[in-house]
Amino acid sequence: FKYNSYTFLLIQANVIVTDWYGAHGDDPYTLQYRGCGKEGKYIHFTSNFLLNDDLTAGYGPRGRVFVHEWAHLRWGLFDEYNDEKPFYINGQNQVKVTRCSSDIAGIFVCEKGPCPQENCIISKLFKEGCMFIYNSTQNATASIMFMQSLSSVVEFCNARTHNQEAPNLQNQMCSLRSAWDVITDSADFNHSFPMNGTQLPPPPVFSLIQPGDKVVCLVLDVSSKMAEANRLLRLQQAVEFYLMQIVEIHTFVGIVSFNSKGEIRAQLHQINSDDDRKLLVSHLPMTVSAEAETSVCSGLKKGFEVVEKLNGKAYGSVMILVTSGDDEHIDNCLLTALSSGSTIHSIAMGSSVVENLEELSRRTGGLKFFVPDESNSNSMIDAFSRISSGTGDIFQQCIQLESTGENVKPHHQLKNTVTMDDSVGNDTTFLVTWQISGPPEILLFDPNGRKYYTNNFITNPALQTARLYIPGTAEPGLWTYTLNNTHHSLQALKMTVTSRASSSAMLPATVEAFVERDSTRFPHPVMIYANVRKGIYPILNATVTATIEPEAADPIVLKLFDNGAGADIIKNDGIYSRYFFSLAVNGRYSFKVHVSHSPSISSLAYSIPGSRAMYIPGYIANGNIQMNAPRKSAGRSEEEQKWGISRVSSGGSFSVLGVPAGPHPDVFPPCKITDLQAIKVEDEVTLSWTAPGEDYDQGEANSYEIRISKSLQNIQDDFNNAILVNTSKLNPQQAGTKEVFTFSPKLFTNGPDHQPDGETQESHRIYVAIRAIDKNSLKSVISNIAQASLFISPNSAPILTRDHLILKGVLTAMGSIGIICLTIIFT
């Protein structure tokens, strides 16, 4: 749990309370970026929600709201209401309210008060100004994921009460499974036993944690293995940059080195000036030992000794552990590390580091990184740029704008541009590093055309770095740099640019890169994510690319998307994602993401993500309508971005096992289609969806298999025997493209379907599902199930103009063709 009214913290908190965005609504919500049954990222509350009792009328008691949001966060449930689709047409051609359970009662309310349903439903369209208001007193006990505010609601929908027809996210994301079914499949229930009737739950434990001194200790390997592949030089370059530029002011820093034994190089020293930073740099190891043996535990022991001298304990401190050794005794100090209360970030250099190094980071809440031996890799500096001392203050943290490296041929150049937006610019530094010979010829242009040359940079020949500090606030706009290799041999040249927030009145854009899990086994893919935000608001329409570096293979560049398809489950939530399955070798993989955004007015949109507790507009109490205050708008706002955005962030590392040697057959199917929609226009049904790929969400699938049924149960349980639609003229497009396909259901649906209970019943709906097939006949998982109404009542009132009709989720009007009825059921 974390409360902070001034800064947004990129920390591992379950609940974040902040007032930054109270002007945009008090909706409690949970950021969910993974699928059904998977944990979310965090719950967000405003302090107004927690303190203003007037809001409980709309949301219900705060404890009930917390249970609703906790179910999102912990068990990966989704909402069972739908503001955009509050009504749908069921299989018996009846208009129903989107709810779970269907037993929750209420009445239709028109502009002038209660009214019969027929006054609101015109030609199966819902009239503007109508709404459905629920009774304040109910007999229904479910569901918490629908309307947590009702006093009678004490349960989640189960197999008996779940409404599979409702067009809500729970049905779409969880393949029509009830909330309780998903919960009982979770580790919380699978790995525990119910308490007996007399047993009381254990009392909760509360710990008040307050920020203290920021304490960091560098624990650096100096064994002979660090002499290989210029590892020591690259470590020195990165640590110098960390000490001079990245670590925050007022932080206490100590330095320890180790081979088979640990050695204290610098006791804790507080950074208050550049002289303090330079003093710490002077204590960095400059040579490696002749000894190959490494003892990580010996290094950590000395590190704990250093940090404990400040307050007598290591609790709350940060260890940055860098090693290239193959120490097999790391487990010997795991319990000591856990009991210390210190966070350990680990950086593995090269391929010989033992597999369980990362366990220290996993168990202590630290980050883990891998640095390959390629000379043009900038991953060591990227790792240190990602690590913060734990201040949590985004206005003090270093923000990486650029990271690139290239092997430049003699008399060739590395040239690029960096966008300096107006939310950053303070403490801006350009760092150039090289591996052999002297520095390159450097030329840097600021947005006003001012030139900076090599002699303007502070050069450190011993560490082979050149650093330019921009005083004051750097000019916003495009900065262009050129690095010329003036030597007669290939030169690994790298550029890093960092800055800090320009003002405490303006939040800077940030990016956080991460993977779904730390390791995978071939052929299971890795899902790569980039959380791109300004505060807690998502940044939309950015260009996001991930660069993945294996231990012994060329880097792979992968574009990430926020389109609600493939690995990305929610569109426009600011979390960009993609499947990564180019698993060439076993071992560790390092990755980082680069975010760019062109200047525009409307493409940087900020919106509250969608998984949130339902706000009730009013109730029926004792036969009277009692309306609540209108819900404070939480909609989108547009912000002009004059300069664009450039950001870089390391995502750390992940491990891959089981990759077969040599060529292997195709084992990657197309990904599941999750956004299938169906609308009926006159006598035809038009389907739309986002195209999957030949392999997951990349390339082009070979064909589609579309099947329909009049029975939801039949198509859900027996897709292979549902009616096959002719798709011979449907050619799959590139992954991520919007697909559209139209067919006539009359060719397939003459006569009733066989019902699951053996009875025959006329149905006025069809249910549609689809799967993609690749060229090797590998098939995707069956899509969500869409449904469309086939029947329009002949007794319906005349159709009004579209300006007077609204079907929030039940209709879409198609030009002058007519009015269609639509409901979508998802799997």
3-state SS of 754-818? ECCCCCECCCCEEEEEEEEECCCCCECCCCCCEEEECCCCCCCCCCCCHHHECCCCCEEEECCCE
Instruction: Round the average pLDDT of the chain to a whole number and report it.
Output: 86
- The per-residue pLDDT for range 210-240, each reduced to its tens digit, is 778 899 999 999 999 999 999 999 999 999 9
807 pLDDT more than 60: no
pLDDT at 810 over 60: no
pTM, whole model, 2 decimals?
Answer: 0.89
Confidence (pLDDT) at 121: 64
Closest CA to 270 of 242, 251, 284, 245: 251
pLDDT tens digits for 718-729? Answer: 999 999 999 999
Decide the pairing of beta strands 684-690 and 677-681.
Answer: antiparallel
- Measured in residues, the chain has a length of 827
CA distance 463 to 460: 6
pLDDT over threshold 90, residue 449: yes
Tokens found for residue 742 = 């139209």
d(CA 515, CA 34): 11
* pLDDT value of residue 664: 83
- List the domains of the chain with CATH numbers: 2-188 (no CATH), 215-390 (3.40.50.410), 510-604+639-657 (2.60.40.1930), 677-791 (2.60.40.10)
Angle at 455 between CA 452 and CA 457, to 5 degrees: 70
pLDDT of residue 94: 78
Binned at pLDDT 50, 70 and 90, residue 130 comes out as: confident
- List, in sequence order, every beta strand (DSSP E) within 665-734: 677-681, 684-690, 703-709, 723-724
Identify whether the C-beta of residue 98 lies closer than 8 Å to the C-beta of residue 583: no
Indicate if the pLDDT at residue 758 is higher than 50: no
* pLDDT of amino acid 307: 97
pLDDT in tens, 621-676: 888 888 888 877 655 555 556 778 999 999 999 999 999 988 888 999 999 999 99
681 pLDDT above the threshold of 50: yes
Rounded Cα gap, residues 532 and 548, in angstroms: 18
Rounded to 5 degrees, φ, ψ at 480 are -115, 130
For 162-191, what is each residue's pLDDT tens digit? 998 898 999 989 988 999 999 999 999 887
User: Could you give phi then psi for residue 808, rounded to 5 degrees?
Assistant: -70, 80
Q: Which pLDDT belongs to residue 815? A: 31
Contact 18, 5 (CB under 8 A): yes
Question: What's residue 680's pLDDT?
Answer: 83
- Provide the pLDDT confidence category of residue 761 given band limits of 50, 70 and 90: very low
User: What pLDDT score does 553 carry?
Assistant: 87
> Looking at the predicted structure, is the pLDDT value of residue 823 above 70?
no
Structure tokens at 208: 């008040």
Between CA 669 and CA 778 the distance in angstroms is 5
What average pLDDT does range 285-300 have in this prediction?
A: 95
- Return the pLDDT at 89: 78
More confident residue, 28 or 680: 28
H or E stretch at 426: strand 424-434
**Residue 14, Cα to own-chain centre: how many angstroms?**
15
Residue 356: partners with Cβ closer than 8 Å, 6 or more residues away: 330, 331
Q: What is the DSSP letter of 695?
A: B
Q: Which of these is catalytic: 69, 358, 551, 694? A: 69
Would you place residue 608 in the very low, low, confident or very high pLDDT band (cuts 50, 70, 90)?
low
Tokens of 300: 């950590």
Residue 308 pLDDT > 90, yes or no? Answer: yes
What pLDDT is recorded for position 821? 29
Residue type, 213: D
Of the candidate ranges 63-67, 552-556, 568-572, 804-808, the one whose mean pLDDT is the lowest? 804-808
Model pLDDT, residue 23:
44
Burial of residue 252 (CB within 10 Å: 0-12, 13-18, 19+) is buried
Q: Does residue 447 register a pLDDT over 80? A: yes
Lowest-pLDDT range of 368-377, 402-411, 760-769: 760-769
Q: Coil, strand or helix: which one is 579?
A: strand
Hey, what are 569's tokens?
């489950």
342-392 per-position pLDDT tens digit: 999 999 999 889 888 999 999 999 999 999 999 999 999 999 999 975 556
Give me the phi and psi of 202, to 5 degrees please: -65, 145
Mean pLDDT within 7-25: 63
pLDDT band at 799 (very low <50, low <70, confident <90, very high): very low
Find the mean pLDDT for residues 474-492.
95
- Residue 110 pLDDT class (50, 70, 90 cuts): confident
Task: Give the pLDDT confidence score for residue 12 in this predicted structure.
Answer: 67
512 is catalytic: no
H or E element, residue 297: helix 296-311
| Average pLDDT of span 118-143 | 77
Q: Cα separation of 666 and 516, whole Å?
A: 23
Least confident span in 61-65, 515-519, 559-563, 746-750: 746-750
Q: How far is CA 333 from CA 52, 261, 265, 298, in A?
A: 48, 14, 21, 9
Identify the pLDDT of residue 665: 86
The amino acid sitting at 150 is L
